[in-house]
Structure 1
Amino acid sequence: MSTPKLKVHIVGAGIAGPCLAYWLARTHLDVSITIIERSPSPRVTGQSIDIRGPAVEIVKMMKLQEAVRSRHTTEEGTSFIDSSGNAFAQFDAGDSFTAEYEILRADLSQLFLEATESLDNMKYIFGESVQSFQQTDRGGTVTFTRGSEESFDVVVAADGSTSKTRAMILDEPTLKDSYNFLGQYIAFFSIPSRPNDPKLWQWYNAPKGLSIIIRPHRNSATMGAYLCITTPARGQRDPLIEDAMENGPEDQKRVLRAYLGNAGWEAKRVLAGMDDAEDFYMSRAAQVKLPKWTHGRALVLGDAAFATFGIGTTLAIESAYILAGELSRIKSSSDVPQALERYEEVFRPLFVRSEELPPGFPQIAFPQTAWGLWLRDILLWLVSRSKVYKFFQGDSGISWKLPNYDWENV
């Protein structure tokens, strides 16, 4: 029997796309893969992320466990800071907040890029995006913004929660109300470290949903800084911040200074560092929920399909592995739509275990009033002192056994 040929187009060179490419290259298929990325070069920005549950096993199978460990952010735990700058609650690594596998998003993306870019059947194109997409029963045709056109057997949109390609693949009824803004704006950037900075995730809150967070980097010269502004309810947008989001980084920095200039703790240090940061990025926190991920020979993957606060990286790795596994079972290109359907049948029941956010989150963690903040802090103090959380530890409902697939060179 001849080896099935499969021509795959992936939009997005973040986490899900390169991970999918890695596993597709280890199937018995005669596969050729093109990944395009809108950014002109690999992104160097992004927050600290963690890898949990079956995703850890997948990384081990990719022989990247030690590389991930060597790029650990060095974070040893999480401390909550009061208005006087004192820690009132602390949780060690592995105690819910800081995971065993903590790594910067850019570092993990780079590892996946390095694991795939030298493959003979692999091509990365940066500074490119999809202008339009049309598909028939026999394949899908992609028109690129630079004007070229190419046909593929499979098209995968892995371009994040704000995916532009998603609307080219799924219809209006499927897309309706799929992007859910959580009422939180977050800015990420690096600031210079200080000799007395602890190796802890330091979390400070002020009333009106304001928060300043500092986290250690593997690079001892810098720290990760996070500025959060949370509105009173999910879906509620701040008009001033929305205008700044449209106008670009300088306007975003101006609004952050106005909102957080007098927030207390390390506000002055962080805002001064923000002005000099070369990796500043600001985004909206959102959850993507779709009743369907696939359509014919195309699908959405990772955050483009199911952005989920806190475990998006884990889900991206797991979904890429299972998608490649289901595609590995095709006998010919005509089997692709059925393989995509099988992927959704396998992964959706696993995904739904972890899709729901805690009630009231993120607002409950970023209170609007001094009274609400006091109540939250008392609860955190009680939980940290009593260690009651240790009775409920685990992988937050994301533990399950990986399906078995017939991989080559693994």
Structure 2
Amino acid sequence: MSTTTRTKLRVLISGAGIAGPCLAFWLARTRHDISITIVERSPDRRATGQSIDIRGPAIDIIKKMKLEEQIRALDTTETGTELIDASGKAFAKFGKGEAFTANYEVLRAELAGLFLDATEKLDNVSYRYGDSVTSLEQTEKEVHVTFASGATETFDMIAGADGSSSPTRPMILDAKTLEGSYNFLGQYIAFFTIPKGPTDTKIWKWFNTTKGRCLMLRPHRNNETMGAYMCITMPKHGVHDPAVEAALKGGASAQKRLLREYFANGGWEAQRILDGMDQSDDFYMSRAAHVKLPKWTNGRGVLLGDAAFATFGVGTSLAIDAGYVLAGELSKISDPSEVPQALERYEEVFRGLYKVMGGGIPGYPQFAFPQTATGIWILSSLMWAISKTKVYKLLPKDTEGVGWEPPQYDWVDV
């Protein structure tokens, strides 16, 4: 594309989490005369979310975004991970940047907020909270969209970046493509903030008990609070707990009642965590899922982030990578008629990274959250041995072992 070309392009992004604002960040840096609308069904910025990490090529991309220092300033200050027994004694320890705690650890809401801050101030980016896409119709030249508010608008393309349970996914892809794409991992996770106690440190503490239950405490950057995590893991992928499913439909109060029942006499600091849960104002509970699709694009519609490839441990990194590549391929077009081809190129380029990072961990989460006391003993013995021998040091570091580098594109400053 000529450096003097100014292609008019109207883009709709569904979802203001990680992938959507990252895409907007880079789209605003193309040479197009671009208008970007981001619609988010939440009435305002989401304040909830667990600790997440950034790995692989995504580290290079945040450096290109000139946000590395700000992200480091948001680091949770977690210095490592300890697997503990019911008395709180650690039997396996891992340092920062080794097996569990990454070199870049940040709360999801704070990372999303950083990307929002970087894009909300731009003249060609508009956020709409409290609304969502209810239907869309593609033609050869445009995408006609109807919103929950009743408004109807036309765009040159739509990007679904609205999470693993994406409501736009079935609007963009057909039923055959979607078949078997959403895979429930058999795990439910609740996370919330509780007051920091006198024995809490900057270490991520992980305690397993029977029936796939787990309690975790992870440090926050401040010295007043900790992140609490409560996990319920089923014996197999795809197996649901009817009581938990009912609680998920019943809202936060029903979910808290269920957790009190499931974790009564749960060991370690269960009582303290449950009491803190009742006082928390950021409680959130969800299912863990892996999304795997044979196709991410259709005409003028495209998926990215968890809507396209939710993957445990690397979902945030893949979302950052995808936003960069998608915007980069769109930067090459000279006319809106070329959007479908650009989306196809995005998929072709990004599949190379996804093949390396997007497969998930075989057997996870079941092997890490045993159902029985015997299973816990076996896992504990294995983790003790790994910790003592330090064989994990042979694994690739956060920035190594991927064999994929972000392509170079023609960006401008804004």
Same fold per superposition (TM over 0.5): yes
Structure 2: which amino acid aligns with 1:192? P
Moved more, 192-201 or 115-124: 192-201
Q: Is the 8 A contact 1:353 1:397 kept in 2?
A: no
Where 1:188 maps in the other structure, the secondary structure is strand
Verify: 1:408 aligned to 2:412, yes or no.
Answer: yes
Structure 2: which amino acid aligns with 1:218? R
Distance (Å, rounded) in 2 between the aligned partners of 1:358 and 1:11: 28
Distance (Å, rounded) in 2 between the aligned partners of 1:52 and 1:63: 16
Distance (Å, rounded) in 1 between the aligned partners of 2:99 and 2:404: 18
Distance (Å, rounded) in 1 between the aligned partners of 2:142 and 2:158: 9
Where 1:226 maps in the other structure, the secondary structure is strand
The correspondence of residues 225-244 of structure 1 with structure 2, limited to 5 A, is 225-244=228-247
- Number of the residue aligned with 2:351: 348
Moved more, 254-263 or 16-25: 254-263
Output the aligned Cα RMSD: 1.1
Counterpart pick for 1:334 among 318, 332, 337: 337
TM-score, normalised to structure 2, is 0.97
Distance (Å, rounded) in 2 between the aligned partners of 1:356 and 1:366: 20
- Number of the residue aligned with 1:9: 12
Task: Give the drift of 1:77.
Answer: 0.2
Where 2:357 maps in the other structure, the secondary structure is coil
TM-score, normalised to structure 1, is 0.98
Task: Give the drift of 1:397.
Answer: 4.8
Any idea what the Cα deviations from partners look like across 1:127-186, whole Å, max 9, x if unmatched?
010111111010101101010100000100100001111111100000101100000000
Distance (Å, rounded) in 1 between the aligned partners of 2:101 and 2:408: 30
- Number of the residue aligned with 2:304: 301
- Number of the residue aligned with 1:22: 25
- Number of the residue aligned with 2:156: 153
Q: When the two structures are aligned, how many residues end up with a matched partner?
A: 410
Structure 2 portions without partners, runs of 5+: none
Verify: 1:320 aligned to 2:323, yes or no.
Answer: yes
Counterpart pick for 1:385 among 385, 388, 408: 388
Where 1:292 maps in the other structure, the secondary structure is coil
Verify: 1:270 aligned to 2:273, yes or no.
Answer: yes
Where 1:49 maps in the other structure, the secondary structure is strand
Verify: 1:134 aligned to 2:158, yes or no.
Answer: no
Where 1:285 maps in the other structure, the secondary structure is strand
Q: Is the 8 A contact 2:97 2:397 kept in 1?
A: no
Structure 1: which amino acid aligns with 2:410? D
Any idea what the Cα deviations from partners look like across 1:210-259, whole Å, max 9, x if unmatched?
00000001122110000000000010000111111111111111111111
Counterpart pick for 1:189 among 189, 192, 196: 192
Structure 1: which amino acid aligns with 2:88? G
The correspondence of residues 7-406 of structure 1 with structure 2, limited to 5 A, is 7-395=10-398, 397-406=401-410
Distance (Å, rounded) in 2 between the aligned partners of 1:358 and 1:162: 20
Structure 2: which amino acid aligns with 1:17? G
Task: Give the drift of 1:262.
Answer: 1.3
Task: Give the drift of 1:358.
Answer: 2.5
Any idea what the Cα deviations from partners look like across 1:369-410, whole Å, max 9, x if unmatched?
100100000000011011111012334854521111011128
Distance (Å, rounded) in 2 between the aligned partners of 1:397 and 1:181: 28
Q: Is the 8 A contact 2:213 2:232 kept in 1?
A: yes
Q: Is the 8 A contact 1:53 1:399 kept in 2?
A: no
Distance (Å, rounded) in 2 between the aligned partners of 1:166 and 1:319: 16
Where 2:49 maps in the other structure, the secondary structure is coil
Structure 2: which amino acid aligns with 1:335? E
Task: Give the drift of 1:85.
Answer: 1.4
The runs of 4+ residues in structure 1 deviating greater than 3 Å are 395-399
Any idea what the Cα deviations from partners look like across 1:307-349, whole Å, max 9, x if unmatched?
0011100000000000000000001000000000000000012
Task: Give the drift of 1:195.
Answer: 3.2
Distance (Å, rounded) in 2 between the aligned partners of 1:195 and 1:368: 31
Any idea what the Cα deviations from partners look like across 1:37-90, whole Å, max 9, x if unmatched?
110010010000000111011111111111001110010000001122111111
Structure 2: which amino acid aligns with 1:191? I
Distance (Å, rounded) in 2 between the aligned partners of 1:85 and 1:3: 61
Where 2:114 maps in the other structure, the secondary structure is helix
Distance (Å, rounded) in 1 between the aligned partners of 2:281 and 2:407: 42
Structure 1 portions without partners, runs of 5+: none
Distance (Å, rounded) in 1 between the aligned partners of 2:295 and 2:104: 31
